[in-house]
Amino acid sequence: MADARERFFKDEHDMFRGMVRNFVESELLPNVDAWEEAEDFPDHVFKKAGELGLLGLNYDEKWGGSNLDYWYTVARTEEYIHSTCAGVNMALLVQSDMATPIIHDLGTDEQKEEFLAPAIRGDKIACLGVSEPGAGSDVASLRTTARKDGDDYVINGSKTFITNGTRADFVTLLVKTDPDKQHQGVSVVLLPTDTKGFAVGKKLKKLGNKTSDTAELHFDNCRIPRRWLVGEEGQGFYYLMQNFQGERLVAAIGAVRGAQRFIDDAIKYGESRVAFGKPIIKFQTWRHEFAQLLTEVEAARRLVYHTCDLYDRKVPSVKEVSMCKLFACELAIKVADRCLQFHGGWGYMDEYTISRAWRDVRLLTLGGGTSEVMREIIAKMSDL
């Protein structure tokens, strides 16, 4: 890995990485067990992340961003993994890499002042409203509508599986502005959650990522000004497909670094755990198992770093991002499962973080586009 790191990361990236690690180890790690138990975490975490500049790394300085290259995003995402709490990590990444990029790239100055700048500071919490009870990966079939009424849109419908949904101050929302069309009728609007008619249906119970709030959202004749349309009407599907690339890439970055952490922690456990008179890591069956896993993680890291390089240089990389999402996320699930097995019965106990990791990591091949969708994208772009 040394030559790959030396190629992409400079001294300033490493200094930044140290700052993020300090934030994680001082602000997050000491609290995650309590937050997991409560299935919640305090909103001030967003504010602290904003104060450190973690929510606008690649955004224009005019709006409070840092205008840095993408390798800062890679470093930050990798360091988040040391929190051992995927729910908090995901909530922060929704804020910085999923709900706000489209505002930065396509929003008006008024929209950036109203929504983006406070999100970068951590003063406002954002969520991304895409999935619906009857439309997940099939975005063109969503049913939440935005009907024109004078200078306003009137929004009706519902969303589900929305991260940050119970605490969000605004929703970056996908709607149908022309229900008679498929993907050509999709648009993006910004909706403050204090809008009359907006309601959180309920906080959803989940297998993992328990600290992250995941909600159903309902819109009952929510009236917003048409000036909160992001970009052009009818182009929302295409905007989202581009937005997905950043979301999927940070998922792959986190998956690789998470898999590495699972292995590192397991090897430490195996050095101290003795069975039949010797540390269990010294048994050939497990030495070979970890040799294989380390090889696969290194291969995934190389693929992800290659794709990050393309993404940083703004080279079209939909196929490569899809490959990263598919390969890295499926590998992380495999690694978590094997590391839990290595811990034996203790792996099933919450005393060791591998039990939480095993639950949390399962989301990776579902959220942001399933593995099946990634395979379809790769197949189409490979002319199969």
Which string of DSSP letters, residue by residue, matches 140-194? GG---EEEEETTEEEEEEEEEEEETTTT-SEEEEEEESSTTSSGGGEEEEEEETT
Q: Which fold has domain 237-381?
A: Butyryl-CoA Dehydrogenase, subunit A; domain 3 (1.20.140)
Residue 71 has pLDDT above 90, yes or no: yes
What does the pLDDT read at residue 136?
Answer: 67
**197 SS3 class:** coil
Q: Comparing C-alpha atoms, which of 169, 252, 160 is closest to residue 201?
A: 160
Question: Which pair of tokens denotes residue 256?
Answer: 């690789």
**Positive/negative CA dihedral, 268, 272, 275, 276:** positive
Residue 96 has pLDDT above 80, yes or no: yes
Which architecture characterizes domain 126-234 according to CATH?
A: Beta Barrel (2.40)
* Percentage of the chain modeled with pLDDT above 90: 92
The residue-averaged pLDDT of 75-99 equals 98
What does the pLDDT read at residue 164?
Answer: 98
- In single-letter form, the type of residue at position 349 comes to M
The residue-averaged pLDDT of 47-55 equals 98
Per-residue pLDDT tens digits for 253-302: 999 999 999 999 999 999 999 999 999 999 999 999 999 999 999 999 99
Residue 86 has pLDDT above 90, yes or no: yes
181 pLDDT band, cuts 50/70/90, is confident
**Residue 59 and residue 19 in contact, taking contact as beta carbons nearer than 8 Å:** no
Residue 138 has pLDDT above 80, yes or no: no
Mean per-residue pLDDT over the chain, rounded: 96
Q: List the domain boundaries for the chain.
A: 2-121, 126-234, 237-381
Tell me the Ramachandran region of residue 369: left when phi exceeds 0, alpha when psi lies from -120 to 50, beta otherwise. left
- The dihedrals phi and psi of 283, each to the nearest 5 degrees, come to -75, 135
Q: Give the DSSP H/E element, type plus range, for residue 24.
A: none
What does the pLDDT read at residue 182?
Answer: 83
What does the pLDDT read at residue 4?
Answer: 64
Residue 141 has pLDDT above 90, yes or no: no
Q: Which fold has domain 2-121?
A: Butyryl-Coa Dehydrogenase, subunit A; domain 1 (1.10.540)
Distance of CA 302 to the CA centre of its chain: 20
How big is the CA angle at 89 (ends 85 and 90), to the nearest 5 degrees? 115
Question: Which pair of tokens denotes residue 20?
Answer: 């993020």
What does the pLDDT read at residue 113?
Answer: 98
Query: Per the residue annotation, which of 79, 216, 233, 247 is the catalytic one?
Result: 247
**Residue 80 and residue 49 in contact, taking contact as beta carbons nearer than 8 Å:** no
What does the pLDDT read at residue 140?
Answer: 73
Residue 3 has pLDDT above 70, yes or no: no
* Percentage of the chain modeled with pLDDT above 70: 98
Q: Which residues contact 62 (CB under 8 A, 6 or more apart)?
A: 112
361 pLDDT band, cuts 50/70/90, is very high
How buried is 6 (Cβ within 10 angstroms: 0-12 exposed, 13-18 middle, 19+ buried)? exposed
Check if 247 is active-site: yes
7 pLDDT band, cuts 50/70/90, is confident
2 pLDDT band, cuts 50/70/90, is low
Residue 329 has pLDDT above 60, yes or no: yes
Q: What does pTM read for this prediction?
A: 0.95
Per-residue pLDDT tens digits for 182-227: 889 999 999 999 999 999 999 999 999 999 999 999 999 999 999 9
